[in-house]
Amino acid sequence: MTSVSETMQRKLSRTLKNYGRITIPNKLLKQARKREVSMVLEDMKYVFEPDKYGRVYIPPELREKLGGMSSYEVILVDGELHLRFRRF
């Protein structure tokens, strides 16, 4: 079985740094099997459920761990949404 993927990448915005909100594109939400986004950080998996506007809220304790990151990407792989952060 081949892996189907689609990616959306964005720079970390002031909104994410200050309020912890990331908006998941509607196109990706509609293609996902479940209305949830997962993130792995320091070997821990976190699962977030977007609100009716497609926004997920990253709690302050997790945002602190993301301090050195400069961008993020939302990846749809085989019907599952994943949130990944990058340093460059």
More confident residue, 51 or 86: 51
More confident residue, 17 or 45: 45
pLDDT at residue 10 in the model: 82
Q: How far apart are CA 11 and CA 23, in angstroms?
A: 12
pLDDT at residue 80 in the model: 95
Range of lowest pLDDT (9-13, 19-23, 59-63): 9-13
Range of lowest pLDDT (2-6, 26-30, 45-49): 2-6
pLDDT at residue 3 in the model: 42
Q: How far apart are CA 78 and CA 23, in angstroms?
A: 20
- Count up the domains in the chain and report the number: 1
pLDDT at residue 46 in the model: 96
Residue positions counted in the chain: 88
Q: How far apart are CA 60 and CA 20, in angstroms?
A: 7
Sheet holding 5-11, edge to edge: 5-11, 71-77, 80-86, 37-41, 44-48
Range of the domain at 43: 5-86
Say whether pLDDT at 1 is over 70: no
